[in-house]
């Protein structure tokens, strides 16, 4: 009996030892299996073999943009309508709740290139800041909102159905040669030359009085809406000069050459609001010639030509008073150029004398709350009378083959009515610039350039210049 007890004890101990050994072996196998089948999990857990990828830090909304911040998920980018040196432009739909109701708004979204670096993004944010600072003005492109908490950032603006003024003017040429374009908006007349010019002068008066220089004023950066409302756009080069009164051009800026004032063409040239006045004179030339390229055939010799006194000749059919305004804008000395406010007053007086009883854009009619003006539906609908038409340098017999090719290419655009818009912002244009022939009888005092020689020079692109 006594001999049986030790045997039982030994048996129990053996069973226990066997169970423990079995469990140890199973755990060892389990560890080996986990290492074999889940190395990524082990690496992420230990952090020894591969460090975990850092999560992008949350981007807070910039304080100056909080009021205008738009949720990027509310934007639907529909189609790309422009791509240029300073960014990409999309036609988009903004869907968001307003007063409890879901609304949809057609907008334009501008953003940076896919490979934009830190400097490009910084400049784009500055453009946003300028757009917000200038706020709303009837002749400046309206701000809808912005997206600064996402990458890439977005600038959201109102949609202008007739696109940029440059392409609009080229389509107006088409009307002069053909009746295939039925939209009466493109039947551009003399009074509307002044009307468009005064609206731009109005917007530039606001910009200059706010202490800013636009820096790239041209027809390509003015947008056209219903009833011939025009608005200045593209503030990518706009600069605040309030403190010093001038701005020096950055060494890496590429600016279209033929719109630049002499002070900007010179090495380390500084520029002011009067530099925009020079560009406004070139813009007047674009409007009066339905998109003519200024200074055809001149590139880096332009500064020397301007220094000797050469200026664009008066286009055939152009009123002398408007050409005189161009020449005043093209004075070599900045101080000799007029202020935008004076230019606006002159243009406003001309429009008023041509159309008695018209309603000034933005002035509306009296009788609003506290005496405020009430904007009317036809505030921009200035009557177009046949007796006010002028020869806008676009009669059929003056077009050369290149001009006709350009005009014919417009027929493929679907512009039968205002319900089929041609786009909003366009940083670059699908239509190349061409020069209409100049009259051999047109010249300015002090200039011996032969106009027929200029007719042989037809640039296909807008030259740009570094700050050399």
Query: pLDDT truncated to tens, each residue of the chain (468 aa)?
Result: 555 556 666 666 676 666 666 666 655 554 443 333 333 333 333 334 444 434 334 444 455 677 888 888 999 999 998 887 778 899 999 998 878 888 899 999 999 888 888 888 888 888 888 788 787 889 999 889 888 887 888 999 999 999 999 999 999 987 766 655 567 888 888 899 999 999 999 999 999 998 888 888 999 999 999 999 999 987 655 554 333 333 444 544 556 789 999 998 886 567 789 999 999 999 999 999 999 988 888 877 899 999 999 999 999 889 999 999 999 999 999 999 999 999 999 999 999 998 775 544 444 333 333 333 333 333 334 444 333 334 444 433 333 333 444 444 443 333 333 222 223 543 333 333 333 322 323 333 333 333 333 333 333 334 554 433
Report helix angle 340-354 to 190-209, nearest 10. Answer: 150
pLDDT reported for residue 267: 64
CATH of 165-465 among 3.40.190.80, 1.10.3720.10, 1.10.940.10, 1.10.510.10: 1.10.510.10
CB 139 within 8 A of CB 195: no
Q: What's the angle, vertex CA 278, arms to CA 274 and CA 279, rounded to 5?
A: 115
**Annotated binding residue at 27?**
no
E-state strands within 258-371: 270-271
Per-residue pLDDT, 329: 98
Alpha-carbon distances of 291 from 170, 172, 220, 312, 406, rounded to whole Å = 6, 9, 10, 14, 12
Per-residue model confidence (pLDDT) at position 12: 62
Measured CA to CA, the distance from residue 87 to residue 89 in angstroms comes to 7
State which fold the 63-158 domain adopts: Phosphorylase Kinase; domain 1 (3.30.200)
| Active site annotation includes 216 | yes
Cα 437 to the chain's mean position, in Å?
30
Contact 280/331 with Cβ under 8 angstroms? no
Identify the sign of the CA torsion 291, 294, 296, 300: negative
Would you state the structure tokens that stand for residue 131, as one six-digit string?
Answer: 């757009």
Considering only CA atoms, which of 290, 291, 264, 280 is closest in space to residue 326? 280
Please tell me which residue in 40, 183, 216, 454 is annotated as part of the active site: 216
H or E element that contains 206: helix 190-209
Structural domain boundaries of the chain? 63-158, 165-465
Contact indicator for 133, 139 with CB cutoff of 8 Å:
no
Cα 30 to the center of its chain, rounded Å: 64
The pLDDT assigned to 57 comes to 42
d(CA 299, CA 23): 88
């Amino acid at each position: 009996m006594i001999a049986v007890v030790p045997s039982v004890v030994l048996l129990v101990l053996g069973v226990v030892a066997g169970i423990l050994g079995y469990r140890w072996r199973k755990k060892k196998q389990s560890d080996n299996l986990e290492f074999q089948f889940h190395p990524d999990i082990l690496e992420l857990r230990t952090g020894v073999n591969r460090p975990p990828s850092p999560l992008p830090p949350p981007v807070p909304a910039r304080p100056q943009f909080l009021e205008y911040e738009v949720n990027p998920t509310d934007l639907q980018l529909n189609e790309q309508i422009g791509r240029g040196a300073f960014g990409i432009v999309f036609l988009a739909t903004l869907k968001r709740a307003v007063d409890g109701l879901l609304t949809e708004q057609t907008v334009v979204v501008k953003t940076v290139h896919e490979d934009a670096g830190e400097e490009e993004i910084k400049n784009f944010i500055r453009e946003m800041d300028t757009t917000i600072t200038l706020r709303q003005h009837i002749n400046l492109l309206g701000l809808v909102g912005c997206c600064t908490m996402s990458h890439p950032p977005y600038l959201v603006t109102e949609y202008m159905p007739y696109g940029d003024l440059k392409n609009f003017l080229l389509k107006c040429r088409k009307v002069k040669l053909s009746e295939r374009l039925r939209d009466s908006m493109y039947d551009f007349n003399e009074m509307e030359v002044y009307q468009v010019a005064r609206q731009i002068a109005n917007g530039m008066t606001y910009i200059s009085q706010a202490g800013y220089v636009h820096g790239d004023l041209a027809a390509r950066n003015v947008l056209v809406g219903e009833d011939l409302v025009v608005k200045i756009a593209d503030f990518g080069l706009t600069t605040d000069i309030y403190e010093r009164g001038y701005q020096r051009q950055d060494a890496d800026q590429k600016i279209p050459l033929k719109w630049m004032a002499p002070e900007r063409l010179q090495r380390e040239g500084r520029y002011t609001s009067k530099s925009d006045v020079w560009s406004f004179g070139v813009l007047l030339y674009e409007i009066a010639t339905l998109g003519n390229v200024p200074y055809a055939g001149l590139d880096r010799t332009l500064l020397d030509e301007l220094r000797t006194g050469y200026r664009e000749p008066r286009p055939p059919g152009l009123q002398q008073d408007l050409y005189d305004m161009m020449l005043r804008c093209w004075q070599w000395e900045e101080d000799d150029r007029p202020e935008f406010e004076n230019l606006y007053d002159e243009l406003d007086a001309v429009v008023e004398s041509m159309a008695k009883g018209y309603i000034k854009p933005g002035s509306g009619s009296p009788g609003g709350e506290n005496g405020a003006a009430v904007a009317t539906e036809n505030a921009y609908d200035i009557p177009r009378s046949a007796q006010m038409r002028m020869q806008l340098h676009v009669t059929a017999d003056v077009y050369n083959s290149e001009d006709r090719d350009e005009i014919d290419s417009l027929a493929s655009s679907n512009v039968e009515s205002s319900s089929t818009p041609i786009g909003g912002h366009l940083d670059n244009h699908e239509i190349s610039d061409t020069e209409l022939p100049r009259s051999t009888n047109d010249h300015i005092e002090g200039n011996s350039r032969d106009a027929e020689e200029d007719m042989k020079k037809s640039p296909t692109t807008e030259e740009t210049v570094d700050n050399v």
